[in-house]
A and B are shown apart, each in its own frame.
Chain A
Amino acid sequence: PANNLGLEDIIRKALMGNLED
């Protein structure tokens, strides 16, 4: 779950979302 992710992981995932777009 997102709750267990660290700040950097959340940021990297959210930024990656853009690359996939």
Chain B
Amino acid sequence: ELTREQHTLLNFLVDSYNKHRIPQDMAKKLLQEQFNAEENFLLLTEMATSHVQVLVEFTKNIPGFLGLDHEDQIALLKGSAVEAMFLRSAQVFTRKMPSGHSELLEDRIRKSGISDEFITPMFNFYNSIGQLHMLQEEQALLTAITILTPERPYVKDQQAVERLQDPMLDVLRRICALHHPHQPQHFARLLGRLTELRTLNHHHAEMLTSWRTS
């Protein structure tokens, strides 16, 4: 069971996660219009920028975040932005979309000039997230947990970050037990996706370099 405080925290996080998303007209553009490779690139960078902006808005609402050292706030966001972006994008491929939409989206990403070497692990991740059928609560919590990773580079006060992350982990563990009573490994699987995300983050840095070059 969740305590009353945990319920409040969870509802607040989910509301904030749902409220802060990429503007719909931008997401629509991705599905409706035909672009060449260069326009694909521009649209995807515009979306990435928007992703980061909404991520910051969501993060500001995480209880206690704005009380952290200002440079630590930046270090946490910088270290997690790409991972949070992949987590959010995975939702697009998880949710039921009108027929053909996810194929169109996949096609556009594949034709954006990014090499297959990076695309394949990305879609593998989207598939592995899809298999977990994550709830909104799990999405929001996992995103907050990713952001509040104390071991990010340049974080000075790791303990302060840990104090914010621990209650989130506890709520996530309880949510998993409540909603997946017959899958005791569900919580561990969710955390396992965070390890996968770190690998993607690493690939992403290399991918950007190759993308810029091409």
Contact = CB atoms under 8 A, between A and B. Distances in A.
Instruction: Report the 3 A-B pairs with minimum CB-CB distance, sorted nearest first.
Output: A14-B56, A2-B49, A11-B77
A18 B65 CA distance: 12
A10 B60 contact: no
22 contacts: A2-B49, A3-B42, A3-B49, A5-B49, A7-B78, A7-B81, A8-B78, A10-B49, A10-B52, A10-B53, A11-B56, A11-B74, A11-B77, A12-B74, A14-B52, A14-B53, A14-B56, A14-B57, A15-B73, A15-B74, A15-B77, A18-B60
Contacts of A5: 49
A2 to B, nearest CB: 4
Contact residues of B: prevailing secondary structure: helix
Contacts of A12: 74
Interface residues of B, number: 16
Contacts of B57: 14
Interface in B46-102: 46, 49, 52-53, 56-57, 60, 66, 70, 73-74, 77-78, 81
Nearest to A5: B49
Q: Size range of the interface on A?
A: 10 to 19
A12 to B, nearest CB: 6
Contacts of B52: 7, 10-11, 14
A10 to B, nearest CB: 5
B45 interface: yes
B46 A11 contact: no
A18 B60 CA distance: 8
A5 B33 CA distance: 25
Nearest to B77: A11
Nearest to B45: A3
B77 A18 contact: no
A2 B78 CA distance: 16
Given A3-B42, A3-B49, A5-B49, A11 B60 contact: no
Nearest to B56: A14
Interface in B137-186: none
Given A11-B81, A12-B74, A15-B56, 16 more contacts: A2-B46, A3-B42, A3-B46, A3-B49, A7-B78, A7-B81, A10-B52, A10-B53, A11-B52, A11-B74, A11-B78, A14-B56, A14-B57, A15-B60, A15-B74, A18-B66
